[in-house]
Amino acid sequence: MQPVLFLSHGGGPLPLLDDPEHAELLLTYALIRHKLDGLHPLPSALLFISAHWETREPTITAAAQPSLLFDYYGFPPQSYQLRYPAPGAPGLAASLADQLAAWGWTTHLDAERGLDHGVFVPGMLLFPRADIPCLQLSLLDSLDATAHLELGHALRALRDENVLIIGSGFSFHNMRAFFDPVTNQEASLNLAFENWLESSLRIDDEQLRESSLANWKQAPGAAFCHPREEHLLPIHVCAAAAGKPVAQEWRFTALNRHGSCYWWN
């Protein structure tokens, strides 16, 4: 059985550009990569749920050799010349579509869309050989927390099929705050939300754990840390796909804000 992983992926391509604001994130990724390298067996495919793709109904990339989608703006020229030639997994995509249909989801395949930076940035850092097939599943544009938990339930069987499920977002995502000076009040809200998130993910009872995540807007600092929730919802998918309390957390500071990554056994 493969684990489940949630990654805070940083700001655009900056983790690949030696940005000093991402030094702690890169150290965290080095620890995660060491843990991934110790998996036996290694995953036969990687399924990413990225914050940067929303559709009305679940949609899965189905290209045999996916391109990269440089979905960021205003960065140095080299950030638009990156390569991550991991193969796709069209057979697995079709199988996953059938699996989601069995759970009642109307699902679509997209053989044209490339992998966005929520996939290829962590992919380059954690799986640099680009030899494991990658595919991506969209978020739902409803941004409904309960629906994303239900989506995670439908993915759970993939773990027994040697597929590593990776949520890619950011445990803190307030674009304005990334560029503003850090106040004591905002730092406290950021830390309070991080503490709530870890505590919720560690709840033993699955029903209580998922109830807490479904009601995340009631958490301290929620509105400040996630004015829009697309970077948080991959955690919901991961937690439900894992079906158990989180096993390990890594905390770091990036862009002057606290963030975290999570691992479920």
Average pLDDT over residues 20-47: 98
Given a cut of 90, whether residue 265 has pLDDT beyond it is yes
Residue-range domains of the chain with CATH: 4-264 (3.40.830.10)
Confidence of residue 102 (pLDDT cuts 50, 70, 90): very high
Looking at residue 230, its pLDDT comes to 98
The CB density around residue 5, as the number of other CB atoms within 10 Å, is 24
Structure confidence by residue, pLDDT tens digits, 172-187: 999 888 888 889 999 9
For the chain, list the strands marked E by DSSP. 4-8, 45-55, 59-61, 108-110, 134-140, 163-169, 248-254, 257-264
Average pLDDT over residues 10-14: 96
